[in-house]
A and B are shown apart, each in its own frame.
Chain A
Amino acid sequence: MSQLLEVSGISVAFDGFKAINNLSFSIGPAELRAIIGPNGAGKTTFMDIVTGKTRPDSGHVTWGERNVSLLRMSESRIAREGIGRKFQRPTVFEDQSVLDNLVMALRNDRGPFSVLRYRRSDGDLGRVRELATEIGLADQLNTRAGILSHGQKQWLEIGMLLAQEPRLLLVDEPAAGMTKAERDRTVDLLRRAAETRAVIVVEHDMDFVRKLGCKVTVLHEGSVLAEGSLDHVTKNQDVIDVYLGR
């Protein structure tokens, strides 16, 4: 099976400190993958590289059927290529309504002049309502995002990701600060999303990762320590030493 995203041999150093060290990673077009690892392992930095926020010192990042390199593209261009990202801290536009947040994320022409002329079509509104139902915010479309609960903000951000219709979704610690019930819903959401696209989830919560029921990659000091099913990696002695045993 050809891979959607291939990262090979990337390294990046911040002031001499190697945050990512000769890391290789790949994911298929409709796959769910969890990345775990201790604090400072380089999980967020890995996402920064894929989304163009940080440029690696060496290595390759190739994308899609035609294997185009992402390294020379701007962040916004990479997003338009179909890579969506959810940040560790929920970042929605708090001063704007749920509706406005979702409309902004909808997959439409993003040039300033076409956005200036944009008028909400029935199709777009239907899509927004569909998404809002999926993330449980159908009744809050006109609510300002700033007064949503923490969990609702996380969902809204996931909804905005889905609205972009990305082919790859990068989700950084979605369960942080969620209640048990909210976590279960989030697992459902992510699993459903992964039926049609690639999803990479970074999470510390082992219970959450177990429920995702997918292949797991363990990062440590900027490179892959182990990869496989959760049961497989949790039996790995290295993983126990650096991460689980602490």
Chain B
Amino acid sequence: MIRSSFAPGVAPVLGAPKAHRSFVMRNPSVLIFLGILALFTLAVTLGAEATGTGALSTSFVKTLGMTLCLCLVAIAMDLVWGYCGILSLGHFAFFGLGGYMIGMWLMWERTEGIVLSATAAQALPPTPDELRAAVGQQIFGVVGGSEIPAIWAFASSLPAQLALVVLVPGLLALVFGWLAFRSRVTGVYLSILTQAMTLALALYLFQNESGLRGNNGLSGLQNIPGMTHLPQSEVSIRFFWASAAALAIGYVLAAWVVAGKFGSVIRGIRDDEARVRFLGYNVEGYKLVIFTLTAIIAAIAGALYYPQAGIISPAEIAPIASIYLAVWVAIGGRGRLYGAVIGAAFVSLVSSWFTGGQAPDIDLGFYVIRWTDWWLVLLGFSFILVTLFAPKGIGGLVDVIRHKVVPDRHGADLGPDKGSFREAEQQ
């Protein structure tokens, strides 16, 4: 479907509305974005240890790869919030679930490899049952058991766990969304509900009985089975490429979704839900589609992120993570896809600079501002400033550069007496 939209455009009929211009022609920002992403990928490849000069350390390449995954989940957030107006504060839960699903396979397969090589010297190779028991002991020993929970049934199969990356968060989003949207829960109540879902999921995962190793989470995920002979420098650049490709595909998919009539309908839902309903559209159905689709995108981003992070624990799913996601999108500029990408990349990189201790402390004489402690305050403050004074976020700068004048209505309609006001705006 996507490819057909790229079909060479028929020249527009003179004076007619642009009907047959191709998708890319109508959305030059997609090409610009892909170009920048390609250049960035090339630059990182040339700087990486495995493929280039080595100017960029392996851990930095990992950070950049992870940042690309965060950009992808920010696009999902922008679709659901910036375009459809659903302020979901639960999309990081889907991101984390995707990480858990791929983490199960990574951990299982690797542990099995370790057990196999440890027993290689024995005269008799272990029976399948013995092997399972040993793997179970290795993985679940930390939570005081060797019983293999039922949810690990498919952990030895990569295709199965990859399917679960999509299915588990997708189904959760589908069921949750169906219940919430069907009862017409909107606005702040919906946000609270998504936070509750996130909190419940995190609390559940914190328990040792959850079958996912409680607060230990899943670890050693950076050791990719089948790539154990490769150095981490090589693994890191491969994951970086995969993340860049996922971001490119996600961006094009999202741009395609919002470019056409579907995008028109969901922006309509954002601006005036009742009106869309009276046009004959089943608003709840649309919300469910977009909520589930974005949950799946978030899950895929998470599945690429955690092998680079190396560890996933329930703390990652904490409600605050999903709130950060909304903050990134707000700072970058919601309702435009590149805004979400800018916000996620900018804030998460700056954040790791501040919290990593690289930022110089400020000595006020009577008090020393340590950024590791004060960064969150700064972030919260920037969020408030952006919300109040630059609701279009960093992405709004593009409008300034292009001299694009958009009437700022503060949500109000232009009444019959505001003719002169309207003229003033158009100048």
Contact = CB atoms under 8 A, between A and B. Distances in A.
A164 interface: yes
A80 B278 CA distance: 9
Nearest to B282: A76
B285 A104 contact: no
A110 B275 contact: no
A200 interface: no
B373 interface: no
B119 interface: no
B286 interface: yes
A147 B407 contact: yes
Interface string A177-191: 110000000000000
Interface stretch (A7-15, A119-127, A217-225): A119-127
B363 to A, nearest CB: 48
Q: Which of A77, A100, A178 counts the most chain B CB atoms within 10 A? A: A100
11 contacts: A75-B278, A91-B275, A95-B271, A113-B289, A115-B265, A116-B260, A118-B260, A120-B19, A144-B407, A147-B407, A147-B422
A80 B276 CA distance: 12
B413 A153 contact: yes
Nearest to A160: B279
A74 B280 CA distance: 9
B330 interface: no
Given A79-B280, A116-B257, A119-B260, 5 more contacts: A76-B279, A93-B267, A110-B279, A111-B282, A151-B416
A88 B175 CA distance: 36
Contacts of B283: 76
Contacts of B419: 149
> Lowest 3 A-B CB distances belong to which pairs?
A177-B416, A79-B280, A80-B280
Interface string B378-417: 0000000000000000000000000000010100011110
A115 B262 contact: yes
A160 B276 CA distance: 11
Contact of B426 (A119, A147, A153): A147
Contacts of B16: 125, 129
Nearest to A178: B416
A104 B18 CA distance: 16
Nearest to A182: B416
A94 B262 contact: no
B268 A112 contact: no
Given A95-B271, A116-B260, A149-B422, A79 B279 contact: yes
Nearest to B287: A112
B377 interface: no
A125 B19 contact: yes
Contacts of A30: none
B361 interface: no
Contacts of B272: 91, 93
B19 A76 contact: no
B53 to A, nearest CB: 45
B281 interface: yes
Contacts of B18: 142
Interface string A143-157: 010110111010000
A110 B281 contact: yes
Contacts of B17: 99, 125, 128-129, 141-142
Interface string B251-278: 0000001001110110110011011011
Contacts of B413: 89-90, 94, 150, 153
Given A115-B262, A116-B260, A125-B17, A79 B278 contact: yes
A164 B304 CA distance: 45
Interface string A41-73: 000000000010100000000000000000000
A111 B283 CA distance: 10
Task: Report, as a range, how many residues of chain A touch the other chain.
Answer: 35 or more
Interface string B231-268: 00000000000000000000000000100111011011
Contacts of B280: 76, 79-80, 110, 164
A31 to B, nearest CB: 21
B425 interface: yes
B265 A94 contact: no
A87 interface: yes
B5 to A, nearest CB: 9
Contact of B275 (A93, A99, A149): A93
A129 B281 CA distance: 23
Interface string A226-244: 0000000000000000000
B409 A146 contact: yes
A112 B267 contact: no
A76 to B, nearest CB: 5
A26 interface: no
A183 to B, nearest CB: 12
B1 interface: yes
B24 to A, nearest CB: 15
Given A117-B1, A146-B414, A100 B264 contact: yes
Nearest to A89: B413
A85 interface: yes
A75 B277 contact: yes
A111 to B, nearest CB: 7
Nearest to B261: A118
A11 to B, nearest CB: 23
Nearest to B277: A75
Contacts of A119: 260
A151 B418 CA distance: 12
Q: Which of A87, A112, A141 counts the most chain B CB atoms within 10 A? A: A112
A144 B425 CA distance: 13
A111 B285 contact: yes
A124 to B, nearest CB: 9
Contacts of A214: none
A133 interface: no
